[in-house]
Structures are given as structure tokens and as C-alpha cells.
Structure 1
Amino acid sequence: MHAHIAEAVKQPDLIRVRADLLCLRFETMKIYSALGAVRHLLDSGAVKQGDTLIDSSSGIYAQALALACHRFGLKCHIVGSTTVDRTLRVQLEILGVTLEQVEPSKNLRLDQELRVRRISEILKANPSYHWMRQYHDEIHYYGYREVADVMDREVPPGGISLVGGVGSGASTGGIATYLREAGRDVTVVGVQPFGSVTFGSEHVSDPDMIIAGIGSAIEFKNVRHALYDRIHWVNFECALSGAVELLRSTGIFAGLSAGAAYLATLWERRRRSTGRTYVFIAADTGHRYVDSAFARHRGAKDIDILSPHEITSLDELRQPWSTASWPDISAARRGT
């Protein structure tokens, strides 16, 4: 029996898609990140019951932090993107969260900069608030130890290729870190949107992309770049096509980042020798993407005809889908 709904909702499901292909499916993945971080702050004395925690969110983290605050008796203030929809807004309101949404922006960079700027203003007026800094503070890795433990128990012995959105780095990076500590051979494949500075695609714009949670137009300081073996940059059209095919072929209704990860996983699985288990992350359900994405499902591409452009330099990045060995790109950028 669970002590709080957050403990129940956070539990992931490992779903076998094929013999060597698994989906790590969450209702909302960042609850692990929020619960682990908040528990650490309370245990260390950095915050106490009744304090107010504040952060920026495009949606998923807002719900996660709200539930973590509810679980531990803390107040919550969210500066949200315009992607926070009515369903989530109503939930946050009932949970007692203070929600501010910034004005609509023409691009992801401006949206994120406006949110961070507003947080600075709030902290100046309320210095007792604790900024969670989900994009920068490595305490957000801690909660993913539990996910790694689940995978270590349930994924068959042998190598694991973990594929998922990079985002703040805490999810794919955290899971991989703790799996490696457990002695597992892990290859990490990160998924990025075009326009994200995290892995150098800020010069390639994709105005249709609405999965802000997997990339960034500002620097995310808690991304450990050295953890990633390969990166896939995927545009909206390809992410949608992957998500539609994932639902059609497996019944898994998940968000656009899951569609992009599914597409990347199938390609990685085809190009490598057998003997590994491929695990892709479905970080959230598809409900908030129904109108903005899934309603366009008749225009989705056949994923069998999609393939990435393999690059050796970030100057070669191009839509709709590019991929590279990240260590090779890093070495080229250093001139070694």
C-alpha cells in the first residue's frame, strides 16, 4: 500500500515490445526527480515543512513538483510555459499551487528566458522561497536510483541501450549513472529537438516542435554530456510519426518524446549487432498532445521509410532527423 498518490503514480511499467526491445513507460516520469530532490532537501535541512518551493516548467515537472510538495507538506509556486494546458492548470489550482504562465512566445528560447527572468523577480521579492533549479541542480538525479534498481532487476543480464529525451539530463543521465554503478554495460542514446543548445542544434529551427521538455534554448548545467554515446535530433514530423506508430503497433499512448525515442531505438537496434536489450523511455502519456499532435495522425509518415542523416560535424545538422556519435562530435569540436 502506498502512503501517497505520488508514490503510486511514479511507478514505471516495463513493457516488452519485442524480445530485445522494452518500453519504460511512466504516467509522469519527473515525479521521481521531484520526490528524490525534495526528500534530499528536507533530510539535509535546506528546507522545512511549510516552506515554498519554486521552479519553471513546461508541464510535466509542474505536476511532479506539486505532488512532491503535497506529499511532504510544502508550498509550491510554478512559473509555467504556455504549454501548461487547462487539465493541468485545474489540477494545480486544486492542489494549492500558485501558477503563473508567461506570455506566449515565438520561440522556445524566449519562453524559457521569460520564465527564468520571472523566477528571479519572485525570488527577489520572496527570498525565503527555494528555487528547485531542475535545469541546473544535480539533486534531481537522486530519485532515478529507484528506476535503475527496477531495471537492474527486470532487464535480462547483458548490455542495455537506454534511449530517451535528454531534457535536464537527470532522467536518462541519472538512470544510466546508477545502472553503471550496479555493474551494467549501458549505452546511452539521447534524443533532442532541433533548436536546442544542449547538444548544439540551436542554429536549426523547428517552429512546429512542442516537446520543450527534451531540449533547451538555454544552457542546462546538470546535463553530463560525457554520459551520452549517441544523439538523435528529431523534428516534430518524425516525433509525431513515431508516436502514432507506437500507439498503432503496441497500444502505448505516450507523448512526442516517446515517439522520437521509439524511432531512434528502432534505428539503433537495426544498425547494431544483437545481444543487447534496447529500452526506450516514454516519459508521459499522450493526453496533452491530442489536439496539438495526435489529431494530425492521418498525416503521419510510415516510419519504415524514415532514416536519419549521419553527421560528423554539427554544421551538417539538418531536418527532419540527424544522428551522430557524440564522443566523435565532441572530439572534433575540441580539435583532437
Structure 2
Amino acid sequence: MIHPHITDALKIPDLVRLTDETILLRFESMKVYSALAAVGHLLERGTVRPGQTLVDSSSGIYAYALALACHRYGMRCHIVASTTVDATTLAQLEILGATVEQVRPSQNLKLDQELRVRRVREILAERPDCHWMRQYHDEVHYLGYHEVADRIAAAFPSAGLTVVGGVGSGASTGGLVERLRAADPSVRLVGVQPFGSVTFGSQDHHDPEAIIAGIGSSIVFDNVRHHLYDTVHWLDFTHAMSGAVALLREHAVFAGLSTGAGYLAATYEARRHPDRTHLVIGADTGNRYVERVFARHAEALDPTALKPAEIRAPEEMTMPWSRMSWRRASCPDRRKGRAA
């Protein structure tokens, strides 16, 4: 097949068998699906017009995805970037035609996210013709994952399926599982979170090395539909790094830190539920984590010796790894810290 644009090739994930019970859904850059579908839908509805500037904040892979979607559809792109965005990503964004500004360095992810949201608001006030994509809150970002879910359903027509992935904005895991459960309500969802994220109640725990900005948040995300999740894992940086290094060492898969965290969680879930197929979402490659993660591979822990603390409520949470049966409960009342 000859693709009309690079995004059509990049968006398609590969299914890679890791063990009898564990499959990797490997993306080059997962949010390309989301950004393409969202921009295409907004253009079709007339919400935005060709050539208009689309703006959003990002910690990395959404910025790249939005820049690609804008390139595909002839839109302008402005990114308010996190301090965690690496030089390689920044260079690609600029060459793709996006204008990029990074907020000043912050001591923690909470301040980093607040600064980014504040700057987006300032841009909208200065340039009202811009359209804010609101990846954290606009449900249009769920649309792109429906196609992925249909591919998964076709590949696993009768398996007891458990999806394992970083929660982040909620759109990827939520979009996949909502679509899958429309045909099979027994599909389970395991969400992965870093410590320090308000989304599932770990905001009082501080991980000094936390750089997994894409799977947690210090502000409330409306796109997270808590009632979709059966189980939640919270992991610190060292455990996520150990999962990423183990994935490369054992399966030759070079993937990002959130994939490493998901792999570690899925390995544990597969030991508890060997009768189910565990599908790990691999959101991106490991390229932007070379210096901060893979260069430190000698520090990685033996994953076979690791296991989480089993807790019954977020108040019982303990570092470095906790697991809780969420049981598709509704959203906790954590409106403090909301950002529009």
C-alpha cells in the first residue's frame, strides 16, 4: 500500500506477542490517530477552517501528533511545550512548521502544567482566531481510537481481553475500551498512573524523578472517565524505568517510559489472571528517553522480584508501587485543581 501522507503510515500500530498471555500494541506515536481524527472532524463540522491556527499544550507526543495533523490538513500549529519535551521533538516540531514555546523550568509537574494552561489562555486572549484543541477535555479526541479498537476486536474475536495502558488524558484507554465494550462488556481496563497525579488520588505522594508526564496529571482532566477502569496501578520512576529496560532486554522492544510501566503492570496482572489476554499499549518509542532512562540501565531493578502493595483505597497508597481494584467506580470528588 502506498500512503498519501506519512501520518497514514505512522498511525497504524503493530501487534507483537511478548508471552502467551501478553501482547504489545506498539505505536510509533500513538496520538497521531487521535489528532488526525480530531482535526478532520473539526474541519468537517466547520468548527475550524483550513489555514487556521490550532493551539494546545503538550508534554511531547501529542505536540508531535498535532503538528503532523496540521501538516496533513494545511493548518497552522502552535504548541506550548512542557519542560520535559526533548530537543529531538522540538526540532521536528519546528521543521514541520509549528511554532513552539516552552514554559520556564519548574520544580514539579503541577507547576509545569499550570504554567502551560495559563499561557494557552493568554494566547487565546491575544489571538482569538486560534482554536484550542483541549486534548485533556474535548471528547473529540476519543474518535481516533475507535478504528484501533476495531482492529483489536478483529485480532482477538473471542479472547478474554484486558487492556493495560497509561491513563494520561483518558482518551486512548477510554476510547479503546468504550468501543470494545460495545461488543464485549467483559473487556477489562487496567490504568497506569505515576505518583503525584490527581486523577486517581496520588497527588500527596512525591516522586522526585517523575518524568512520566504523559500518563498522569496535577489538574483534573474531563476526558478521564473513571467508571471505565477496573484496576489502577501507581508506579514510581525506578519501576517504570525497570519495566522499559526489561522490555528491551527480554523482547528487543525499544519503547517509552509509559510502556515500561504498562509492561510491568501487565506482567503482574497476567500472573494473577493467566486465562486472559493482556494487551499493553505502547504509546511511543524510547528515543526521547535515551539519556534519562536507557543510559541508566544498570540501575534497573529485576522485574521478577517486584510486586505492588495491594490497597483497598487511595488513602492506603504507598510508594514505590501500589495496585487497587477500582471496580469501575465513578470519579472521586477532586475538582480542586481543575483547569479548563
TM-score by length of 2: 0.95
| Aligned residue number for residue 282 of structure 1 | 282
1:117-157 CA-to-partner distances (Å, cap 9, x unmatched) read 00000000111100000011110000001110110111251
- Separation (CA, whole Å) in 1 of partners of 2:302 and 2:51: 51
CA contact (8 A) 1:158 1:275 kept: no
Question: Equivalent residue of 1:24, what SS?
Answer: strand
- Separation (CA, whole Å) in 1 of partners of 2:167 and 2:231: 11
| Aligned residue number for residue 239 of structure 2 | 238
| Aligned residue number for residue 293 of structure 1 | 293
CA contact (8 A) 1:246 1:259 kept: yes
How big is the shift at 1:20? 2.5
- Separation (CA, whole Å) in 2 of partners of 1:250 and 1:224: 32
How big is the shift at 1:291? 0.3
| Aligned residue number for residue 93 of structure 2 | 92
1:243-258 aligned within 5 A:
243-258=244-259
- Separation (CA, whole Å) in 2 of partners of 1:301 and 1:211: 18
CA contact (8 A) 1:169 1:223 kept: yes
1:184-333 aligned within 5 A:
185-272=186-273, 274-327=274-327
How big is the shift at 1:76? 0.2
**One-letter code aligned to 1:210:** I
Question: Equivalent residue of 1:136, what SS?
Answer: coil
1:41-190 aligned within 5 A:
41-183=42-184, 185-190=186-191
- Separation (CA, whole Å) in 2 of partners of 1:69 and 1:199: 33
Using the TM superposition, name which of 81-90 and 38-47 deviates more: 81-90
Question: Equivalent residue of 2:232, what SS?
Answer: strand
Runs of 4+ in 1 over 3 A off after TM superposition: 328-333
Is 2:52 the partner of 1:22?
no
**One-letter code aligned to 1:276:** R
- Separation (CA, whole Å) in 1 of partners of 2:238 and 2:157: 33
- Separation (CA, whole Å) in 2 of partners of 1:332 and 1:209: 23
How big is the shift at 1:86? 1.2
**One-letter code aligned to 2:55:** I
1:196-250 CA-to-partner distances (Å, cap 9, x unmatched) read 0000100001120111000001111110000000000000000000110000000
- Separation (CA, whole Å) in 1 of partners of 2:104 and 2:306: 36
Question: Equivalent residue of 2:91, what SS?
Answer: helix
CA contact (8 A) 2:38 2:141 kept: yes
CA contact (8 A) 1:168 1:222 kept: yes
Question: Equivalent residue of 2:101, what SS?
Answer: strand
CA contact (8 A) 1:261 1:281 kept: yes
CA contact (8 A) 1:159 1:184 kept: no
CA contact (8 A) 1:313 1:332 kept: no
Question: Equivalent residue of 1:163, what SS?
Answer: strand
- Separation (CA, whole Å) in 1 of partners of 2:181 and 2:34: 19
CA contact (8 A) 1:57 1:80 kept: yes
Q: Identify unmatched segments of 5+ residues in structure 1.
A: none
**One-letter code aligned to 1:5:** I
Q: Identify unmatched segments of 5+ residues in structure 2.
A: 334-340
1:162-186 CA-to-partner distances (Å, cap 9, x unmatched) read 0000000000110001111233631
- Separation (CA, whole Å) in 1 of partners of 2:87 and 2:314: 38
Question: Equivalent residue of 1:245, what SS?
Answer: helix
**One-letter code aligned to 1:169:** G
Question: Equivalent residue of 2:18, what SS?
Answer: strand
TM-score by length of 1: 0.96
Figure out how many residues of one structure are paired with residues of the other and give that number.
332
Aligned sequence identity (%):
60
**One-letter code aligned to 1:315:** E
- Separation (CA, whole Å) in 1 of partners of 2:286 and 2:23: 18
Residues 249 and 76 from structure 1, CA distance in 2 versus in 1: closer, same or farther, beyond 3 angstroms?
same
Question: Equivalent residue of 2:234, what SS?
Answer: strand
Over aligned residues, Cα RMSD in angstroms?
1.4
CA contact (8 A) 1:145 1:174 kept: yes
- Separation (CA, whole Å) in 2 of partners of 1:100 and 1:244: 31
CA contact (8 A) 1:195 1:202 kept: yes
**One-letter code aligned to 1:74:** M
How big is the shift at 1:330? 6.0
How big is the shift at 1:158? 2.2
**One-letter code aligned to 1:65:** L
1:245-269 CA-to-partner distances (Å, cap 9, x unmatched) read 0000000000110111001001111
**One-letter code aligned to 1:128:** D
